C-alpha cells in the first residue's frame, strides 16, 4: 500500500474583537491604554468614534451603534430618570471632555447668566 503525504497550506487570518467606542474627545484613559497596547493585548480592535453631540451619542448607545460611550453625567441622568431609558453609568474614568462655562468678560458669576440665551451642544440633554 502506498501512502502520500499531502501538505495543505491554508492562510489563517485572525480578527480581534471589534469594539466601538464613542466619545467627544480621546480621553486620557483611552489614549494611554491605546499607546500602551492594552487593547491589542486583550485582542480588542477598539475603534474611536468622535460624537457630534449628546443626543446623537446617547442614541447610538441605546441603538447598539457604540459598545461604550464616555460622556457627561447630565445626559445619562436625563435618559434614566426623565425619559425612562435603560442607561447604566459605570463610573468616572478621568477628567472627561473638559467642559467649560464661558461668557463675555462682564459676566463674572453663574447667577448673571439667568434669563440670558445660552449655547449648548443639545437643547434636550440633561433637562428635567
57 in any annotated domain: yes
Write out the residue range of the structural domain in which residue 26 sits. Answer: 17-113
55 in any annotated domain: yes
Q: How far is CA 29 from CA 22, 35, 37, 43, 79, in A?
A: 13, 10, 12, 18, 25
Q: What are phi and psi for residue 9, nearest 5 degrees? A: -110, 105
The pLDDT of residue 44: 93
44 in any annotated domain: yes
2 in any annotated domain: no
Instruction: Find out whether 48 and 39 touch, Cβ atoms under 8 Å.
Output: no
In the chain, how many domains are there? 1
Helix (H) or strand (E) holding 29: helix 28-35
Instruction: Report the distance separating Cα 89 and Cα 80, nearest Å.
Output: 10
23 in any annotated domain: yes
pTM, entire model: 0.61
The pLDDT of residue 92: 63
8 in any annotated domain: no
123 in any annotated domain: no
**Mean pLDDT split into 10-residue runs, the chain, 128 residues:** 52 75 87 94 94 86 89 72 71 61 85 84 56
The pLDDT of residue 77: 73
HSE at residue 28, side-chain half, CA atoms within 13 A, is: 7
25 in any annotated domain: yes
Amino acid at each position: 500500500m502506498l501512502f502520500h503525504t499531502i501538505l495543505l497550506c491554508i492562510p489563517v487570518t485572525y480578527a480581534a474583537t471589534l469594539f466601538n467606542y464613542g466619545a467627544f474627545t480621546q480621553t486620557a484613559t483611552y489614549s494611554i491604554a491605546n499607546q500602551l497596547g492594552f487593547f491589542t493585548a486583550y485582542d480588542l480592535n477598539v475603534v474611536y468614534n468622535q460624537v457630534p453631540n449628546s443626543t446623537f451619542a446617547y442614541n447610538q448607545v441605546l441603538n447598539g451603534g457604540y459598545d461604550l460611550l464616555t460622556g457627561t453625567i447630565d445626559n445619562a441622568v436625563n435618559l434614566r430618570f426623565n425619559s425612562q431609558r435603560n442607561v447604566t453609568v459605570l463610573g468616572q474614568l478621568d477628567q472627561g471632555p473638559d467642559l467649560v462655562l464661558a461668557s463675555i468678560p462682564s459676566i463674572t458669576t453663574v447667577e448673571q447668566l439667568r434669563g440670558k440665551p445660552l449655547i449648548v451642544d443639545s437643547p434636550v440633554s440633561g433637562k428635567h
